[in-house]
Amino acid sequence: MDFLVEFEIDVPDGTPETEVTAREDAESAAAAKLVAQGHLVRLWKRRVGAGESTPIGLYRAESEDELEGLMRALPLYEWMRVAITPLQPHPNNPAARHLPDGPQERPLPEPRLTSVYRLDATLAVPLELGEVARGRRRIVALTGGTFNGPQMRGRLLPGASADWQTVLPDGAALGDIRYTLETDRGDLLYVQSRSVRHGSPEVLARLGRGEDVDPREYTFRASTEIETAASDLDWLNKGVFITVGGRQAAGVIYETYLVE
């Protein structure tokens, strides 16, 4: 069943700012788990005044009792006023499709992207191996950097991070990107991306010369997997991720998204 959930959050007067921040961080992590479990489908903000808004969410659960249990487990629940509205399908729903003279065809959910983190990394001078069977092989070490996201932040570990890259004859680059992140709590994430970067010959030549090129002028995309032993980040092990990249003169940017 689908439910529309409206929240109003009222932080008690005198609550230490450190407690508010800790609960908000825990709330973000809890929301990410609900996304991974398929309970949190969409989340919006409703403006209620100048500079003020309240969250509205579309949730999915087997029953209202199950949903109320999920709400009670949220770190901010005791500061919340929650209104739950059960939703029923409407016969004129544009998403509803029917087969001619046959049973109703249940539509599949459309994929959505949720930001996981943005990594800004510095790079070493490429190690050129030369021409191999598929193209020009080179290794580009990631020497450092930081990442930030709604549920986590931290740094890239040098010495355990690089892009094993093959440059094809037309200038397109195929990447085998592997790097290790350490969150500010000390949890380790192993990330592996299979990437492709391509564009016009002129743009690729500018990138090859080390110029700063607007990422909108070329395509830099990757399929990504993330592994971790941190129990509260286990949803990363089960997620499907894509990454959008941007090459800079002395670094690279990776923005990674969860496919819901």
- β-bridge mates for residue 84, sequence order: 5
Buried-state track 158-171, b at ≥16 Cβ within 10 A, e below 16: beebbbebbbeeeb
Q: What is the pLDDT of residue 32?
A: 86
- Residue 94, in any domain of the structure: no
State which of 89, 122, 156 marks the end of a domain: 89
Q: What is the pLDDT of residue 95?
A: 60
Contact 141, 123 (CB under 8 A): yes
Segment 54-77, tens digit of pLDDT: 889 999 998 888 888 898 888 888
- Residue 50, in any domain of the structure: yes
Instruction: Name the nearest CA neighbour of 19 among 81, 82, 78, 71.
Output: 78
125 & 247 share domain = yes
6 & 123 share domain = no
- Residue 145, in any domain of the structure: yes
Q: How many CB atoms sit inside 10 A of residue 126's CB?
A: 13
- Residue 70, in any domain of the structure: yes
Q: For the chain, give percent helix, strand, coil, nearest 5.
A: 20, 50, 30
CATH number at residue 194: 2.40.160.20
Report the domain count for the chain: 2
Q: What is the pLDDT of residue 219?
A: 94
Q: Residue 134 has which token pair? A: 């598929």
Q: Which amino acid is at 235?
A: W
Segment 215-253, tens digit of pLDDT: 999 999 999 999 999 999 999 999 999 999 999 888 999
Q: What is the pLDDT of residue 99?
A: 45
74 & 139 share domain = no
179 & 237 share domain = yes
207 & 253 share domain = yes
117 & 85 share domain = no
Average pLDDT along the chain, 260 residues, taken 10 residues at a time: 88 89 86 87 79 83 89 88 87 60 67 93 93 91 95 94 93 95 96 95 87 91 97 94 92 94
71 & 146 share domain = no
167 & 249 share domain = yes
Whole-model pTM: value is: 0.62
Q: What is the pLDDT of residue 23?
A: 86
Give the domain extent around 236. 113-259
Q: What is the pLDDT of residue 54?
A: 82
Q: What is the pLDDT of residue 245?
A: 95
138 & 231 share domain = yes
62 & 142 share domain = no
- Residue 97, in any domain of the structure: no
Q: What is the pLDDT of residue 30?
A: 86
61 & 138 share domain = no
Q: Which amino acid is at 2?
A: D
